[in-house]
Amino acid sequence: MHPRIAHLQTLTRRNFLQQSALGMGGLALTALLERDGLASPATPVNPLAPRAPHFQPRARRVIYLHLTGSPPHLDLYDYKPQLVKLDDQDCPESFLAGKRFAFTSGTPKLLGTRRTFTQCGEGGMWLSDAIPHLHSVADEICLINSMTTDQFNHAPAELLLLTGSPQSGRPSLGSWVTYGLGSENENLPGFVVLISSGVQPNGGKNSYGSGFLPSVFQGVQCRSKGDPVLYVSDPPGMHRELRRQTLDALADLNHLQAEELGHPETLTRIAQYELAFRMQTAVPEVMDISRESAQTIEAYGAQPGEASFANNCLLARRLVEQGVRFVQLFDWGWDFHGTGPNEDIRDGLTKKCATMDRPVAALIKDLKQRGLLEDTLIVCGGEFGRTPFREGRTAKGDILGRDHYPDCYSMWMAGGGMKGGYTHGESDELGFSVARDKVHVHDLQATIMHALGFDHTRLTHRFQGRDFRLTDVHGNVVKQLLR
């Protein structure tokens, strides 16, 4: 007999009463407690309450530094002497066959780096002169020179990296992390977003949205200048006591709706309103970097009251120190096509790296000095790499730039149980493809989740009849990256 038919035959009234005695007793007890006012089905449970992962984690929190536009990795991390020797020669056809590029066609010219590379730290990590401050923390960095992705345009590549899909609508990495772990501070969001250089991410708010997860898990954008969070302050004419009364009235209405419809998003709405009320006091305090010592502010190159990547790096440390689970920094300006002086891999890259190099090195040192680096995972990189040849539109000009390149690029991590002073994988001698130990973006996602104590195949959410996860149906943990 088919197992399903056999199971259906057991579903008799007698079987129901035998198997559900405790369940019916529990229902009766709940009804009595509700009658006496001792329980309520609409009592909101804090969705951001701390939760345990699947196994002992290496990291408890994440600071993700997304360099929007994607830095030229061949001028920062991946040293290719052979490419320098062949500079300005025609790119071999075998490297181009069957490939598409965003702005390059025909036969481009190979482009060797103009930067000077040095081996740094005890591990001898190759780093360029564009990032001199990172030289001093090379032994904390776990560098991946064998990253690869499936997308060669900004928005789809960014969404694939940060949500697991090139199409909008999926939960972001930060949302999955807070969904799985909650937050360690009930007065602050579990997932905070900081944006510098005045430009939103390529994927828009989808890059830090919650997708089909409850909206309480989406990233909350904070600002380092002006009100830290838009609309969190009381409007003119409304004092804090009146706001409390307003929220209580809204909570009563939401409780009634929760009792009637039982929709989980209603309870999420109650929790969000309460969090916003508590944030009015907590957020301005934690976002005020003027409370830091002059020495710390100088180390980051921060300027209180201004909006900058340096300020955001210092804010990231303050936020994770206060229990925020995931802090995402987006910094625009890393799209080095060579269409203007600021996109030149010589002076333009020097100027742009100056806004990133110092504060990121200071962040690593600051976290280590405070005993936080051990269980804080820092991730840094863009959505893809840059070509080993000149960008087609600017090939005949004096400005040197590179096109988008998905096949091979570099990212790095630090802290959170990652192997410091270690370079993983390598590209071929010209930087066109991965020669050893390929790491796909889904593998990176799986490794990040593993560091946080999750089996990425088990952290799922059911939506439209199927279980979804960050890595879709892909991804393997890269254990060589872990200490």
Q: Are residues 115 and 202 in the same domain?
A: yes
Integer Cα distance of 392 and 124 in angstroms: 34
Structure confidence at residue 5 (pLDDT):
43
- Report mean pLDDT in 10-residue bins for the chain, 483 residues: 46 52 50 46 67 97 98 98 98 91 94 98 97 98 98 97 97 98 90 93 96 93 70 65 71 76 69 65 82 97 93 97 97 97 97 98 98 98 98 95 98 98 98 98 98 98 96 97 97
In the chain, the amino acid numbered 411 is M
Q: Has residue 213 been placed in a domain?
A: yes
Q: Which residues pair with 381 in a beta bridge?
A: 66
Structure tokens at 6: 């056999």
- Summarize pLDDT for 167-209 with one digit per residue, the tens: 999 999 999 999 999 999 888 889 999 999 889 999 999 999 9
Q: Has residue 36 been placed in a domain?
A: no
Q: Are residues 188 and 246 in the same domain?
A: no
For the chain, the farthest-separated pair of C-alpha atoms sits apart, in whole angstroms, at 86
Integer Cα distance of 119 and 428 in angstroms: 19
Structure confidence at residue 185 (pLDDT):
87
CA angle, corner 319, sides to 315 and 323, nearest 5? 170
Task: Report how far apart, in Å, the C-alpha atoms of 10 and of each of 1, 20, 263 are.
Answer: 13, 13, 32
Integer Cα distance of 255 and 253 in angstroms: 5
DSSP-derived pairing of the beta strands 461-463 and 466-468: antiparallel
Query: What pTM was estimated for this model as a whole?
Result: 0.85
CA angle, corner 60, sides to 156 and 155, nearest 5? 10
> Which of 286, 310, 331 is the endpoint of a domain?
286
Q: Are residues 273 and 224 in the same domain?
A: no
Structure confidence at residue 292 (pLDDT):
96
**Residue in the structure block whose two tokens are 């969705």:** 47
Q: Are residues 134 and 244 in the same domain?
A: no
Looking up residue 186, the CATH number of its domain turns out to be 3.40.720
Mean pLDDT of the residues in the chain? 88
* DSSP assigned state of 251: H
Count of domains for the chain: 2
Q: Has residue 182 been placed in a domain?
A: yes
Q: Has residue 55 been placed in a domain?
A: no
Domain that holds residue 179: 61-228+289-481
Q: Are residues 199 and 271 in the same domain?
A: no
Integer Cα distance of 279 and 231 in angstroms: 11
Q: Are residues 331 and 399 in the same domain?
A: yes
Q: Which residues pair with 390 in a beta bridge?
A: 402
Q: Has residue 114 been placed in a domain?
A: yes
Does residue 439 contact residue 160 with C-beta atoms inside 8 Å? no
Q: Are residues 281 and 295 in the same domain?
A: no
The helix-helix angle for 441-451 and 173-181 (nearest 10°) equals 20
Q: Are residues 177 and 214 in the same domain?
A: yes
